[in-house]
Amino acid sequence: MDAPTSGSLPDDVFHDHCDAIVRSISTVIDGKTEAVRLALTVLLAEGHLLIEDVPGVGKTMLARALARTVDSTVSRVQFTPDLLPADITGVSVYNQNTREFEFKKGPVFANIVIGDEINRASPKTQSALLECMAESSVTVDGTTYELESPFIVVATQNPIEMEGTYPLPEAQRDRFMARISMGYPDAAAELAMLRSRELTSPLDALTPVVSVSQLRELIATVRRVFVSTAVEEYAVAIAQATRRDREVRVGASPRATLHLVRAAKARAAIDGRDFVLPDDIDALAVTVLAHRMIPARHTGDTSALLSGHSIADVIERIVAEIPVPVHAAAS
Amino acid sequence: MSTTEAARVASVARHDRRVRLWSIAGVLALATGVAASSLGAVLTEGAWWFPLMAVVVAVLASGAAFRSVNSRAWLGSVVAAAGGLVSLVLMFAPQTAILGIIPTADTVSRFGQLVTQGQASIAVQSFPADAFVGIVFLICLGAAAVAVAMDVAAFVLQKPALTAIPLTILLLVPSFVRTELHDAFVFAATAIAYVAVLLVASPQKSTRSAWPLISAALVLSLIVPVVLPSVEPAEQLGSGQGLISTGVNPIINLSTDLRRGVPLRALTYASESGGEYLRVAALDVFSEDTWEPSQNEPTAAGSVTEFPIAPGLSDEVPREEKVLQVEIDRIRGKLLPVPYATANISGLEGDWSWEPDGLTVSTDDSNSRGQNYEVAFVSPAPSVEQLEAAPTTLPDSFERYLELPETLPSIVTETAHAVAGGETTRFDQALALQSFFADGDFTYSEDAPVAEEYDGSGAGVLGEFLAAKSGYCVHFASAMAAMARSLEIPSRVVVGFTPGERIADDSDERRFLVSTDNLHAWPELYFPTIGWIRFEPTVSVGSAPRFAQSVEDDPSTPDVDESQPEPVATPTSTSPATPGARPDLPLDEDSSAATPNGVEISPWWWLVLALPVLLLIPALVRVTRRALRLAAVRQGETGAAWREVRDTAIDLGYPVSATATPRQQFEHLTEHLGDSGTSALSSLLGQVEASAFSTRPETVRVGAVTNVLAALRASVGWRGRLRAALAPRTAFSPRDRRG
């Protein structure tokens, strides 16, 4: 694949870094190891992460913790209906001293951008994020500004339709590598949270555990993970099946297949493997594919079908139906 | 990929698809045509095959043509059926159809007529039947149905293996008509054509896993002809007048052949001495239903160049040595017409052997048709005095010639005693019986027994025959032989030909033509020291030998002794009086080996015999598949190892999803395996995953695979293992997908 030739880390170093990040985030997010691991997977796969859940379960906390464990530039944008595109990308202002227009960089110029309640902004503003997320660049007044690498958007949104919210356009949903949800904590975790948050915000105690350059090395290592023809065929077969399925109106895009394989590489690396297993694909299929697909005959609530199956159910069924190719690697 | 490139790829794919479609259709047509040629056993000519093929090709070609432009498979089969209909209309009723192809109500009624004609034609003809238009129509109709079934199996169901069903039905048609009609060659050829169907029409390119089916088909094609008695196929090319089949027991077909409207030329022979009766079979076992040949094995050691002395013939009896030149024309079978008592035959093709009691001649591997041979024979010519003086004590082995079925109507015995009870010698009794039939108020009729439902030769019909006093040779011969037995005279019924018509009279030879009209049955009675003597009880047919004619009724007949040339002593003057005395001719050898006149196996027995084989097919397929996979593992294909483990687990009843990843399947299985099994499976999983998904070249040892398989088998009870072996669930699962 697109493996760079340098920047790869030895296995143990990679592992240590990953462990450190997971442990660090887990101090603020109690009992949500799976969500944390998924977030890390997306981070290492250089994808954008969408965290969707009801208010108050720690979406923003996860986003901020993730940003804070990496010693990088972080910006946070609270999306509101009156937010304008320029509020994200930046504006050109006239400098009286130099008598020139000067570009004032918006919050998007950061390694990690946290977009809080992203579905509260108008479609116009939301689409301003589009170019940034897809191209890692910003164009203002005809000038294109490259964003720093890595550039990762971690957005949160509420699933419940509320006044003053705009559903995320399909095109933008497709640019998120994965959508995760937090879920309510169990009783023990909730109790532990009560005690630890009484005095201080635990977020304040978080210190970065990896630098930006180390993050780049981690990402480079992930890129070198081997994907066999069999696994590629498997991912493609799943994507194709979502497009043919009766219960689905819009299936997974080719970009979705690409994201699926990239995320699988990150998952394999975190698992300590230098090759992807079909199991990686299976494990990530719902997380990576569900938010981009549109069910047929949906009732308004996009996650539920008339048949009572959610898109996640459909994906799980497809994954179970597609046979796993087991044949010798192409090498 | 640019648009033009995409278009090019699509066009290549379309072309490939069409080539595949047409090659499947071609191979299906081939297989149907080959299987249909089995009908040659019941039909006389080969010409019917061409319209049949035209219909088959029409069906399959219309289906393929439609599918090459439209991908709806089932609609293709509808179009195929329509194509078959159009071809039937074109060939059989073009004048009734619009534009020659669109059927109308007239077409339907014409088809109805043809079906009726065909059925009638089948009913009145004996087999092999002449293929009149009605029969050809029925055949073509059947062929169209078979071709549509093949089309559905291969294209709609995508299971080319299922084409075996229509092909088998087609193959078995002759055996439903008559049990002995099978042709090993057609079976084998059809099996090969079926293999071709499997190879060409299998949904996936890989042909490897077709081999289990192929081997099963070939095994079946080898077994079937062995199980079924083989019969030569009817030779279809010829003047188209049919054949006389001697079959297993010639008496069965005799009446049918006698009733032929147009007589068939059976054979011609040249004789210096005059017309001769020719014997085909000697039937000595008398039962409720029929006369049958006994199951003595023909003496294979005895080549036809030297026959034994006729049983019972003693040196004192005068005899004539004669020679016949026989040319067989249209008799097909394993039995050869020869005069009594044959001394040697020359000029035969194939291996022929004689049967020591009846002196009949048969073959296992050859055929009477077209034979041209010279037969030298010794015709016994005893004097009336010798016959009357014949002793009454019989050789021990002759009791079987006196056996009567218990169901024999009492009228037979009563009549025998009433007719001949007053005579003093056995010979006079026999003459009295003969004249009772031949000179009494009996009439000859080929139809009366059929009309009155007492047709046949068995004991069951004799009472009715004696009451009705009307029948044909079979009845007369059977009745006289039965009555002779009731008078303690050994008897048997012989089937053969009367001397026939003289057709040429060259200076030095007289030629006779023998046809189906000359088919005949007559009794032979045994007199100690004389041997077997032919009698002729049938009214107005044939003639008894002079010595067996009653002097009272034919006073003009010169004395037997005077009419015969000087008796010639045979070289083997020490010949014993009974055949049983010859040590090299074991008479009652207990042998169950099938003879040409031996076992008949009905299709139902065939099914019973084939059933175990059919039931074992899944096991066979599964075992073959395992062997192929292990062979693939040896060649480094680790995926095959895992597929085998997965399928074995499924066969053993574990709920393993065939579409799950190896690791998910592993987690399922470890719940049921012991520690050693789990570790073996775990290390195999590691090797399979690394080999299939990583860059590390891993090889799997076959031993590691068989260890895991053994651990899996050990984890279930013997019932589970037995079920997995005999009824493996994965025997017919989709083919292995290969990279």
Residues from chain A contacting residue B659 (CB–CB below 8 Å): 320-324
Residues from chain B contacting residue A230 (CB–CB below 8 Å): 692-693, 739
Contacts of B109 (CB under 8 A, 6+ apart): none
Residue range B294-316, pLDDT digits in tens: 766 555 545 777 888 888 888 88
% of chain B residues with pLDDT over 70: 75
Residues from chain B contacting residue A273 (CB–CB below 8 Å): 694
B254 shares a domain with B207:
no
Residues from chain A contacting residue B690 (CB–CB below 8 Å): 275
**Burial level of A96, CB count in 10 A (0-12/13-18/19+)?**
exposed
B148 shares a domain with B69:
yes
Tokens representing A291?
Answer: 């938010």
Are A230 and B689 a contacting pair at CB < 8 A? no
Residues from chain A contacting residue B694 (CB–CB below 8 Å): 226, 228, 273-275, 329
Å between A105 CA and nearest CA of chain B: 39
Chain A residues within 8 Å of chain B (Cβ atoms): 226, 228-231, 273-279, 282, 320-331
- Say which residue the tokens 């209909």 belong to: B85
How large is the average pLDDT for residues A154-161? 79
B187 shares a domain with B268:
no
Tokens representing B37?
Answer: 């040629």
The single-letter DSSP state of residue B312 is T
Which residue is closest to A326 within chain B, CA to CA?
B639
% of chain A residues with pLDDT over 70: 89
Q: What is the mean pLDDT of chain B?
A: 76
Residue range B505-558, pLDDT digits in tens: 655 667 888 887 788 889 999 988 888 888 888 877 767 676 666 544 443 333
Which residue is closest to A329 within chain B, CA to CA?
B692
Are B662 and A231 a contacting pair at CB < 8 A? no
- Which of A250-264, B408-422, B456-470, B503-517: highest mean pLDDT? A250-264
> Is residue B270 in a domain?
yes
Is residue B252 over pLDDT 70? Answer: no
Q: Sketch the domain layout of chain A as residue ranges.
A: 8-185+209-224, 225-331
Q: How confident is the model at residue A278 (pLDDT cuts 50, 70, 90)?
A: very high
- Write down the pLDDT at residue B165: 84
B526 shares a domain with B645:
no
Are A329 and B691 a contacting pair at CB < 8 A? yes
Residues from chain B contacting residue A225 (CB–CB below 8 Å): none
Closest in A228, A321, A322 to B693, CB measured: A228
How large is the average pLDDT for residues A207-231? 91
> Is residue B470 in a domain?
no
B25 shares a domain with B120:
yes
Which residue has better confidence, A288 or B110? A288
- Write down the pLDDT at residue B230: 42
Q: Across the strands, what pairs with A78?
A: A116
How large is the average pLDDT for residues B618-637? 85
Residues from chain A contacting residue B737 (CB–CB below 8 Å): 323, 325, 327
Å between A311 CA and nearest CA of chain B: 20
Residue range B146-172, pLDDT digits in tens: 999 989 888 888 888 888 888 888 887
Are B694 and A329 a contacting pair at CB < 8 A? yes
Which residue has better confidence, A296 or B523? B523
Is residue A222 over pLDDT 90? Answer: yes
A4-13, B50-59, B599-608: least confident range: B599-608
B176 shares a domain with B110:
yes
Which of A275, A324, A331 to probe by mutation at the B interface, max B CB count within 10 Å? A324
- Write down the pLDDT at residue A239: 94
Are B691 and A230 a contacting pair at CB < 8 A? no
**Burial level of B279, CB count in 10 A (0-12/13-18/19+)?**
buried
CA B152 → CA B28, B36, B145, B149, B493, distances in Å?
11, 18, 11, 5, 54
Q: How confident is the model at residue A134 (pLDDT cuts 50, 70, 90)?
A: confident
Q: How confident is the model at residue B635 (pLDDT cuts 50, 70, 90)?
A: confident
Q: How confident is the model at residue A328 (pLDDT cuts 50, 70, 90)?
A: low
Is residue A235 over pLDDT 90? Answer: yes
Q: How confident is the model at residue B249 (pLDDT cuts 50, 70, 90)?
A: low
Is residue A186 over pLDDT 80? Answer: yes
- Write down the pLDDT at residue B471: 84
- Write down the pLDDT at residue B394: 83
Strand bridging mode A152-157 / A49-52? parallel
Instruction: Please give the CATH topology (third level) of the domain spanning A8-185+209-224.
Output: Rossmann fold (3.40.50)
ipTM for the complex? 0.80
Q: How confident is the model at residue A48 (pLDDT cuts 50, 70, 90)?
A: very high
Is residue A321 over pLDDT 50? Answer: yes
Enclosing domain of residue B317:
245-402+485-532+541-581
B151 shares a domain with B264:
no
CATH code of domain A225-331: 1.10.8.80
Chain B residues within 8 Å of chain A (Cβ atoms): 636-639, 642-643, 657-664, 688-695, 697, 737-739
Å between B729 CA and nearest CA of chain A: 17
- Say which residue the tokens 């299906």 belong to: B28
Which of A319, A326, A331 to probe by mutation at the B interface, max B CB count within 10 Å? A326
- Write down the pLDDT at residue A94: 87
Are B692 and A326 a contacting pair at CB < 8 A? yes
Å between B138 CA and nearest CA of chain A: 46
Tokens representing A312?
Answer: 């996640």
Closest in A231, A320, A327 to B739, CB measured: A327
A111-115, B110-114, B506-510, B572-576: least confident range: B572-576
- Write down the pLDDT at residue A231: 93
CA B461 → CA B273, B406, B464, B568, distances in Å?
38, 14, 5, 43
How large is the average pLDDT for residues A171-195? 85
How large is the average pLDDT for residues B578-585? 34
Q: How confident is the model at residue B714 (pLDDT cuts 50, 70, 90)?
A: confident
> Is residue B240 in a domain?
no
CA distance B336 to B338: 6
Which residue is closest to A233 within chain B, CA to CA?
B739
- Write down the pLDDT at residue B610: 67
A8-17, A57-66, B47-56: least confident range: A8-17
- Write down the pLDDT at residue B604: 60
CA A185 → CA A56, A189, A282, A287, B534, distances in Å?
11, 6, 25, 19, 111
CA distance B35 to A322: 40
The single-letter DSSP state of residue B210 is G
> Is residue B23 in a domain?
yes
- Write down the pLDDT at residue B572: 37
Q: What is the mean pLDDT of chain A?
A: 84
Q: Across the strands, what pairs with B470?
A: B443
Which residue has better confidence, B263 or B656? B656
Closest in B636, B693, B738 to A275, CB measured: B693
Which residue has better confidence, A42 or B441? A42
Domain count, chain B: 3
Is residue A294 over pLDDT 50? Answer: yes
- Write down the pLDDT at residue B596: 37
Which residue has better confidence, B686 or B517? B686
- Write down the pLDDT at residue A119: 84
B622 shares a domain with B570:
no
Are B692 and A328 a contacting pair at CB < 8 A? yes
- Write down the pLDDT at residue A254: 94
- Write down the pLDDT at residue B505: 61
How large is the average pLDDT for residues B475-500? 88
B115 shares a domain with B21:
yes
- Write down the pLDDT at residue B737: 47
Q: How many CB pairs lie under 8 A apart between chains A and B? A: 76
> Is residue B205 in a domain?
yes
How large is the average pLDDT for residues B634-653? 86
Are B697 and A226 a contacting pair at CB < 8 A? no
> Is residue B571 in a domain?
yes
- Write down the pLDDT at residue B220: 66
Are A327 and B639 a contacting pair at CB < 8 A? yes
B621 shares a domain with B547:
no
Å between A245 CA and nearest CA of chain B: 17
Residues from chain B contacting residue A226 (CB–CB below 8 Å): 693-695
Which residue has better confidence, B68 or B575? B68
% of chain B residues with pLDDT over 90: 3
Residues from chain B contacting residue A324 (CB–CB below 8 Å): 659-662
Å between B691 CA and nearest CA of chain A: 6
- Write down the pLDDT at residue B189: 80
How large is the average pLDDT for residues A122-141? 83
Contacts of B730 (CB under 8 A, 6+ apart): B622, B647, B650, B651, B658
DSSP string, B59-112: HHHHHHHHHTT---HHHHHHHHHHHHHHHHHHHH-GGGSBTTTB--HHHHHHHH
CA distance B711 to B188: 42
